[in-house]
């Protein structure tokens, strides 16, 4: 069984959820279960997070036909895809080795599987191989039900900056879903999902965002990593246009009066936005019944 690290244990204690976390620890595996292998074989996209050559943490999207995720053996996942050249992690995932956090999410069924480990290039150069350190499923809370498909890549300008433009801030402010990559600063990385009612991801300024940390399974993989290392990367999909907004920066947890009152504050360091190559959904989502009502920041 893959045990919790010191950051996760610290946050679990501070949140007064050590007993629930101990029960959830049983879901952590060091090999890929058959049910996970079957799930991965049907997926068309994967979220992956790690640090670039400059040490900035990013969250990226990889897509392919069903079968592009192949379980080679119980300890190895082959990913037959590489990020496009404009992706900040293109060189990292294409060359390796790197510590990777990966997430397979199927919004139509609200299933998700997280696979963390160390990458190396595939021998044929078409993708990368993940040697698994940790595999686990998560509960379906806060996942909006929709049926997205990979959007084709098209020629278009890549918009970069050190803060959000008005259009990017608008996308963030109406998001009901985003993905976050974190690292424990040494041997581990993680990619995770965050969901809520539109407005839960709040824009305070072009360089400051925040979101509430909702009650989950008490593992605190994201917050535990942030306890040890503040670097983080966000990926915000535009379901209507197929564009992607990638943001790297630093995050910290703000604790309220009670152990269950937590907000994550995120400082934007750099932004890379593209108008294609993301995920498209042709219908409004069915929002999770667990989403608390969230008003946009004033």
Domain of 245, in residue numbers: 6-140+149-280
Give a yes or no: residue 125 inside a domain. yes
Q: 236-280, pLDDT tens digit by residue?
A: 999 999 999 999 999 999 999 887 889 999 999 999 999 999 999
What's the domain count of the chain?
1
Q: What is the pLDDT of residue 260?
A: 80
Give a yes or no: residue 160 inside a domain. yes
Q: pTM (2 decimals)?
A: 0.96
CB 45 within 8 A of CB 61: yes
Coil, strand, or helix at residue 283?
coil
CB 144 within 8 A of CB 195: yes
Give a yes or no: residue 296 inside a domain. no
Q: 84-106 burial by CB neighbour count: b if 16+ within 10 A, else e?
A: eebbbbeebbbebebbbbbbbbb
Q: What is the pLDDT of residue 92?
A: 94
Give a yes or no: residue 298 inside a domain. no
Q: What is the pLDDT of residue 43?
A: 98
Q: What is the pLDDT of residue 1?
A: 45
Q: 128-180, pLDDT tens digit by residue?
A: 999 999 999 988 999 999 999 999 988 878 999 999 999 999 999 999 999 99
Is pLDDT at 298 greater than 60 in this prediction?
A: no
Give a yes or no: residue 249 inside a domain. yes
Give a yes or no: residue 297 inside a domain. no
Q: Over the chain, what is the mean pLDDT?
A: 94
Q: What is the Cα–Cα distance from 99 to 115, expressed in whole angstroms?
A: 11
pLDDT > 90 fraction of the chain, expressed in percent and rounded: 89
Is pLDDT at 297 greater than 70 in this prediction?
A: no
- Count, in order, helices (H) and strands (E) of the chain: 6, 17
CA distances to 89, 138, 195, 217, 292 from 15, rounded to whole Å, are 33, 19, 20, 12, 19
Give a yes or no: residue 134 inside a domain. yes
Measured in whole angstroms, how far is the alpha carbon of residue 75 from the centre of its chain?
21
Q: What is the pLDDT of residue 294?
A: 65
What CATH number did the domain enclosing 44 receive? 2.30.110.10
């Amino acid at each position: 069984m893959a045990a919790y690290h010191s950051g996760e244990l610290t946050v679990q204690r501070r949140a007064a959820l050590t007993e629930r976390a101990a029960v959830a620890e049983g879901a952590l595996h060091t090999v890929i279960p058959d049910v996970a292998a079957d799930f991965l074989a049907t997926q068309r996209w994967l979220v992956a997070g790690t640090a670039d050559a400059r040490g900035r943490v990013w969250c990226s999207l990889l897509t392919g036909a069903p079968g592009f995720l192949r379980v080679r053996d119980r300890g190895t996942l082959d990913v037959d895809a590489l990020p496009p050249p404009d992706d900040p992690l293109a060189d990292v995932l294409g060359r390796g080795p790197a510590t990777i956090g990966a997430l397979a999410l199927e919004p139509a069924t609200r299933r998700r599987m997280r696979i963390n480990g160390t990458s190396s290039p595939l021998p044929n150069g078409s993708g990368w191989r993940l040697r698994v350190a940790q595999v686990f499923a998560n509960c379906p809370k806060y996942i909006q039900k929709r049926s997205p498909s990979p959007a084709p890549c098209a020629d278009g300008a890549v918009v970069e900056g050190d803060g959000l433009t008005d259009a990017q801030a608008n996308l963030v402010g109406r998001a009901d879903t985003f993905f976050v990559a974190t690292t424990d600063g040494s041997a581990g990385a993680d990619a995770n999902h965050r969901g809520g009612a539109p407005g839960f991801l709040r824009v305070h300024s072009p360089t400051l965002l925040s979101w509430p940390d909702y009650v989950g399974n008490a593992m605190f993989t994201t917050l535990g990593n942030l306890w040890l290392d503040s670097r983080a990367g966000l990926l915000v999909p535009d379901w209507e246009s197929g564009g992607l907004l990638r943001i790297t920066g630093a995050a910290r947890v703000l604790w309220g009066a009670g152990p269950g009152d937590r907000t994550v504050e995120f400082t934007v360091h750099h932004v890379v936005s593209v108008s294609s190559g993301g995920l498209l959904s042709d219908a409004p989502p069915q929002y999770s019944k667990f989403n608390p009502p969230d008003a946009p920041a004033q």
